[in-house]
Amino acid sequence: MKPAIPANTVERLSLYRRLLEAWLEKGTTSLYSHQIASMACVTPAQVRRDLMAIGYTGSPSKGYSVDALEESIGLFLGSDRVRKIALVGMGNLGRALTTYFTSRVPRFRMAAAFDTDPRKTGRVIAGCMVYGIEEIPRIIPAEGIRTAVLALPADSAQEMADRLVNAGIKGILNYAPVPLRLPADVFLENRDVTASLEKVAFFSGQPREGS
Amino acid sequence: MKPAIPANTVERLSLYRRLLEAWLEKGTTSLYSHQIASMACVTPAQVRRDLMAIGYTGSPSKGYSVDALEESIGLFLGSDRVRKIALVGMGNLGRALTTYFTSRVPRFRMAAAFDTDPRKTGRVIAGCMVYGIEEIPRIIPAEGIRTAVLALPADSAQEMADRLVNAGIKGILNYAPVPLRLPADVFLENRDVTASLEKVAFFSGQPREGS
DNA sequence: GTAACGCTGTTACTGTTTTCACAACACTCA
DNA sequence: TGAGTGTTGTGAAAACAGTAACAGCGTTAC
Ligand SMILES: NC(=O)c1ccc[n+]([C@@H]2O[C@H](COP(=O)([O-])OP(=O)(O)OC[C@H]3O[C@@H](n4cnc5c(N)ncnc54)[C@H](O)[C@@H]3O)[C@@H](O)[C@H]2O)c1
Ligand SMILES: NC(=O)c1ccc[n+]([C@@H]2O[C@H](COP(=O)([O-])OP(=O)(O)OC[C@H]3O[C@@H](n4cnc5c(N)ncnc54)[C@H](O)[C@@H]3O)[C@@H](O)[C@H]2O)c1
């Protein structure tokens, strides 16, 4: 994976876009890079660089047109259309994520969930149909889903990831706390909550119990 | 924040430590860098470099002693003691996180949760006492908590972050999808799920709905 | 005994991401 | 008009992260 666009830039663009939406509703027509930067808590130069990456150009006198920029970012990210996502593991985390996206982020739609628990399969949970994992090779291509979220126990994560990739998945957001070995053309993002918290706790100073 | 140790290294050390625990239970006494690297899906050079950062030294003939290394990393990360964490926002995500840490990661203990919902305050949820937010200035110093997790609606995140910092919090793991403005001595990690998914979806190819 | 091997620790290097700095331009105001 | 201000776009530099390379040294083979 040698992305023409840095992954960090994509993440920030997503944030800019969300911030711009709020200004759009307020009726603001244009913003300067330092205003966007201030809201996003980054430097103005960073904002200009990121916008340069998607080829959007502002004017030195007026700054950036809010609605045109919002549309440009949307177009670039492909978030002008609803994106279908697959979820594997409809447990506590999976349900929370599904509820969240369904109610708050209509741009992403949990189009199918997969689970091994027979009490969950065949039902609609949090607005999302839960299938047995044997349905992966049928549903994923049929729905044309290319992106999946893994929220299942660590010991089955690798196997399910393999099955997803075989079914055509090209990007995985992994919440299971285990490194995954995947083909190079599949984009993988690990969100290891324990490691994140460990990092924050580490930099919080010396927070031992019983101190 | 100019960390002597790169944040990425800390995160990987957390992972190494978890992997080592599994080998420890199996009775393995020593491992080479390339074995650790293979499990963690990184290069052997990366492993050696990370271990160099914490000053741990292996032997060229035997590799790294599993138990001594596990202990060294634990000591370095401070995870030899239980760490107390505060949670703000005992909603779907907060409950999932609390359940997860309580049952799976005893090293981190959700020592106190705060919420505005009167149906939640004063009760124990997922094994964690939920207080009203007005209790923050009392509980945080009393318990000596330095690390907090934010899992509440975006519009109150900044205000709650400020209150936490005033109460002595030195590190925040933020799940609310807004950038936070904090003093430089407070470590902040944003986990914006939407931006993560946007990134993965972007690099998954062209996954529009209706394609 | 000693040559060959394989691993660590460390330094040098490569590539990527972020910041800096400034030319170029539009607009304001005297 | 023309100096002054403030912004963008972008080349250059810096900071950062990861990789490669290799000296040093036990260990093994013979
Ligand atoms: N809950 C959290 O806040 C949290 C945070 C970070 C990481 N995680 C990780 O996310 C994963 C899920 O966490 P959780 O709290 O939702 O756990 P959970 O036990 O509530 O849910 C796991 C779900 O996965 C299903 N499952 C089990 N094996 C499966 C398989 N082979 N294929 C498909 N589905 C399968 C189970 O039936 C269950 O519904 C775990 O790996 C956990 O470490 C959870
Ligand atoms: N659910 C998810 O999977 C998910 C994923 C990513 C991000 N998030 C973000 O995490 C946050 C919480 O998500 P959720 O799904 O748990 O929402 P939720 O509505 O289930 O829970 C929010 C909780 O915060 C409490 N709260 C509201 N205002 C508060 C305040 N000022 N102080 C303290 N507590 C307050 C509410 O009473 C509620 O218990 C949101 O910002 C959401 O954007 C959630």
For residue B122, the domain's CATH number is: 3.40.50.720
Would residue B201 count as lying in a domain? no
Choosing from B62, B77, B92, the residue where a domain stops is B77
> Protein footprint on strand D: which nucleotides are under 7 Å from a CB?
6-11, 16-21, 24-27
B70 and B88 both lie in a single domain: no
Token reading at A39: 């809201």
Residues A54, A91 share a domain: no
Residues A68 and A152 in one domain: no
Interface of B with A in 67-86 (CB under 8 A): 77-85
Last-in-domain residue among B77, B98, B114:
B77
Q: What is the reported pLDDT for B209?
A: 53
Asked, for residue B208, whether it belongs to a domain, the answer is: no
pLDDT of B210: 47
Residue A63 sits in the same domain as residue A125 = no
Same domain, A175 and A102: yes
The pLDDT assigned to B80 comes to 82
Those residues of chain A that have pLDDT short of 70 are 1-3, 206-211
Instruction: Please indicate, yes or no, whether residues A124 and A180 belong to a single structural domain of this protein.
Output: yes
Indicate whether residue B94 lines ligand 2 (CB < 6 A): yes
Q: Mark whether A43 and A133 lie in a shared domain.
A: no
A65 and A112 within one domain: no
CB-nearest to B197 from A39, A173, A179 is A173
In eight-state DSSP terms, residue A192 is -
Instruction: Give the model's pLDDT for residue B206.
Output: 60
pLDDT over 70 (residue B92): yes
- Both B88 and B183 in one domain: the answer is yes
**pLDDT value of position B208:** 47
Least confident window among A112-121, A161-170, B23-32, B145-154: B23-32
Place of tokens 């946007």: B198
Same domain, A32 and A88: no
- Domain final position from A55, A77, A99: A77
> A60 and A89: one domain?
no
Nearest to A128 by CA among A156, A79, A89, A176: A89
CATH (domain of B21): 1.10.10.10
Question: What rounded mean pLDDT belongs to chain B?
Answer: 94
- Estimate in Å the CA B61 to C1' D30 gap, whole number: 20
Residue B49 belongs to a domain: yes
* Partner residue facing B105 (CB), from A101, A194, A204: A194
**pLDDT at residue number A206:** 60
- Indicate the number of domains in chain A: 2
What mean pLDDT do residues B111-116 have?
Answer: 98
Domain containing residue B30? 7-77
DSSP symbol at A189: E
pLDDT of residue A85: 98
> Would the pLDDT of B180 be above 80?
yes
Going by CA atoms, what residue is nearest to atom 29 of ligand 1?
A116
- Identify protein residues whose C-beta is within 7 angstroms of any atom in strand D: A 32-34, 44-45, 48-49, 51-52, 56-61, 63-64; B 2, 6-9, 42-43, 45-46, 48-49, 59-62
For residues B110 and B126, what is the distance between their CA atoms, to the nearest angstrom?
Answer: 10
Residues A136 and A164 in one domain: yes
Helical pair B44-53 and B7-26, crossing angle rounded to 10 deg: 100
Most confident of A204-208, B22-26, B98-102: B98-102
Plot region of A191 (φ>0 → left; ψ -120 to 50 → alpha; else → beta): beta
Amino acid at B73: I
